[in-house]
Amino acid sequence: DSGVTQTPKHLITATGQRVTLRCSPRSGDLSVYWYQQSLDQGLQFLIQYYNGEERAKGNILERFSAQQFPDLHSELNLSSLELGDSALYFCASSPQGQGAYEQYFGPGTRLTVT
């Protein structure tokens, strides 16, 4: 158990809908990262938050947004969903914001868009 929790574990929704994925980092970790894993794209970095502020942005679509709250939990919002958004979405956390630290991954949310 990494100490990172993600809810829900599974999500099935229809195209055009909007969903929210939730992540609670390990106690004491200030950075939260979101990654998308799909068969065709592999593991892709989406976005990083550090202590409530956006720190780095990757291949995140404009239909996707995220935020980190004062209690450090984070939410990833996916809207106008398309079939191609079906994937595993991972949240990870680390103590600080730089790459010199290992990241602790949650179990993931499997999103299926039908």
Partner 1 sequence: SQQGEEDPQALSIQEGENATMNCSYKTSINNLQWYRQNSGRGLVHLILIRSNEREKHSGRLRVTLDTSKKSSSLLITASRAADTASYFCATDGSSNTGKLIFGQGTTLQVKP
Position among 18, 43, 51, 80 found at the interface with partner 1 (CB under 8 A): 43
Q: Would you say 2 or 80 has its CB closer to partner 1?
A: 2
Contact between 4 and partner 1 per CB under 8 A? yes
Write the secondary structure of 9-27 as one string of H (helix), E (strand) and C (coil).
CEEEECCCCCEEEEEECCC
Cβ proximity of 25 and 4 under 8 Å = yes
Contact between 45 and partner 1 per CB under 8 A? yes
CB of 71 to partner 1, least distance (A): 20
Peptide bond into 8 cis (omega under 30): yes
For residue 109, which of 4, 49, 20, 21 has the smallest C-alpha distance? 21
- The contact set with partner 1 (CB under 8 A) reads 2, 4, 31, 33, 35, 42-45, 48, 50, 55-56, 58, 88, 90, 92, 94, 96-108, 110
